[in-house]
């Protein structure tokens, strides 16, 4: 073999070896969630669709590799693995992701893949149209049945959220009426569960804080009642927007009182700490209402208003993932070349 070819061959071997060595680093470390709730950190070295080989993060204490079957993984981890194997321009692969997400409670990310599959399939001749329509037609039923199970298990907050998705995205589905009925039925339990969850986040020494915040309960209930009312009329975006605006105003009122209380007791570090925790909670609730409002504007095709609401979120929380994703969808619609000055929305 001529000397230049030998050198080139050796160079290829060297580069190949380096690539194999650094492949885990190129893939990036991941958090791998198991079915039991345990999380392990490491690099996925191999994934054949039934099991993965993982190099564990040992904190620099040697090298440890383990194999984990898909049956041991949580659905969200399996989804991430499937997504990594699926090209964005693979319509059938995107549909498969949507189907998996629907069956495993990952409804919002599933909707993203459904819409992507729909768009790709339209460009590729509509071969998947029957499967796409079948998936859409059974989506509300799947979510409704899963919500019933959540209610039976006492998981009313998650059930409330999922029932809201039916009314928000599938208001014409036959199951929408039952979703609306269940939403009303669990309203009080959901409120109690929400308040219990918030209470659990407050430390045991926070009796004074709870007494101080007692006057805010009425405003807090009002805010969440407005969100619920907005969800119930999700197919009437003008009415829904008014309810979401009222919710945001109520949350703002609560935040003003909390911040004032925190400033008044700066010498009481325990009170201030708990007040800050509640400020974070109510801020997240306000963002939830703002996202509902932006979505309603989006549905109504008032895209500039939707963008204003999302930008208001990002002004204070520039890395908020849902707000960033929604801004991306709005900007795509605004830049749509359909001829409409506000853009064109797809189903």
Tell whether 197 and 215 lie within a shared domain: no
Residue 13 counted as domain residue: no
Smallest Cα–Cα separation from 98: which of 127, 63, 131, 66? 131
Beta bridge partners of residue 43, listed in sequence order = 55
Query: pLDDT of 175-224, one tens digit each?
Result: 999 999 999 999 999 999 888 876 665 444 345 555 656 667 788 888 99
The encoded tokens of residue 199 equal 């209470």
Tell whether 40 and 125 lie within a shared domain: no
Start-end of H helices in 214-320: 217-232, 237-264, 269-299, 303-316
Residue 323 counted as domain residue: yes
CA 275 – CA 118 distance, rounded (Å): 46
The encoded tokens of residue 127 equal 């071969």
CA 306 – CA 240 distance, rounded (Å): 13
**Domain with 53 in it:** 22-74
Tell whether 287 and 346 lie within a shared domain: yes
Residue 296 burial (C-beta neighbours within 10 Å; 0-12, 13-18, 19+) = buried
Contacts 24+ apart (CB under 8 A), 305-310: 306/330, 307/331, 307/334
What is the block-wise mean pLDDT of the chain (347 residues), using blocks of 10 residues? 43 38 48 89 90 84 86 93 94 96 95 96 95 96 96 94 95 96 94 79 49 73 92 92 94 87 62 75 93 92 93 93 92 71 40
Which residue bears the tokens 């993203």? 112
Tell whether 107 and 211 lie within a shared domain: no
The encoded tokens of residue 245 equal 């605006």
Give the model's pLDDT for residue 195.
84
Asked if residues 323 and 291 have their Cβ atoms less than 8 Å apart, the reply is: yes
What are the DSSP calls for 47-91, one per residue? Answer: E-SSEEEEEE--TTS---EEEEEGGGB-HHHHHHHHHHHS-TT-H
CA 186 – CA 192 distance, rounded (Å): 10
Give the model's pLDDT for residue 276.
77
Tell whether 27 and 109 lie within a shared domain: no
pTM (2 d.p.): 0.57
CB atoms within 10 A of CB 42: 21
Give the model's pLDDT for residue 37.
86
Residue 332 counted as domain residue: yes
CA 313 – CA 299 distance, rounded (Å): 19
Number of domains comprising the chain: 3
CA 237 – CA 220 distance, rounded (Å): 23
Tell whether 233 and 165 lie within a shared domain: no
Decide which of 74, 96, 115 is a domain's last residue.
74
CA 343 – CA 336 distance, rounded (Å): 5
Q: Could you tell me the strand order of the sheet in which 39-47 lies?
A: 30-33, 39-47, 51-56, 65-69
Residue 235 counted as domain residue: yes
User: What CATH number should be reported for the domain holding residue 275?
Assistant: 1.25.40
Give the model's pLDDT for residue 203.
46
Give the model's pLDDT for residue 209.
52
CA 155 – CA 149 distance, rounded (Å): 9
Tell whether 169 and 191 lie within a shared domain: yes
């Amino acid at each position: 073999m001529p000397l230049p070819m030998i050198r080139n061959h050796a160079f290829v071997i060297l580069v190949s070896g380096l690539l194999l060595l650094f492949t885990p680093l190129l893939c990036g470390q991941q958090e791998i969630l198991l079915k039991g709730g345990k999380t392990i950190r490491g690099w996925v070295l191999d994934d054949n669709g039934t099991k993965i080989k993982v190099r564990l993060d040992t904190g620099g204490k040697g090298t440890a590799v383990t194999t984990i079957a898909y049956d041991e993984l949580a659905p969200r981890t399996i989804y991430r693995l499937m997504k990594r194997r699926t090209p964005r321009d693979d319509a059938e692969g995107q549909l498969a992701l949507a189907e998996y997400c629907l069956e495993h409670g990952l409804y919002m990310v599933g909707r993203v893949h459904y819409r992507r599959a729909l768009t790709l399939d339209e460009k590729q001749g509509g071969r998947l149209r029957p499967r796409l329509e079948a998936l859409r037609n059974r989506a509300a039923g799947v979510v409704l049945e899963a919500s019933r199970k959540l209610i039976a298990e006492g998981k009313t907050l998650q059930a409330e959220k999922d029932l809201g998705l039916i009314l928000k995205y599938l208001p014409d589905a036959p199951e929408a009426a039952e979703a609306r009925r269940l939403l009303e039925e669990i309203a009080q339990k959901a409120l109690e569960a929400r308040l219990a969850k918030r209470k659990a986040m407050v430390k045991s020494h926070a009796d004074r804080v709870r007494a101080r915040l007692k006057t805010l309960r009425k405003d807090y209930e009002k805010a969440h009642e407005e969100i619920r009312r907005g969800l119930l009329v999700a197919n009437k975006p003008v009415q829904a927007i008014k309810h979401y605006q009222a919710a945001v105003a109520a949350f703002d009122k609560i935040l003003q009182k909390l911040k004032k209380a925190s400033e008044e007791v700066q010498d009481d570090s325990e009170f201030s700490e708990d007040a800050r925790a509640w400020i974070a909670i109510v801020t997240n609730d306000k963002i939830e209402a703002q996202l509902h409002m932006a979505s309603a504007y989006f549905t109504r095709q008032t895209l500039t208003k939707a963008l204003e609401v999302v930008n208001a979120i990002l002004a204070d929380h520039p890395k908020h993932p849902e707000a960033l994703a929604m801004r991306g969808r709005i900007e795509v619609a605004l830049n749509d070349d359909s001829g409409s000055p506000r853009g064109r929305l797809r189903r």
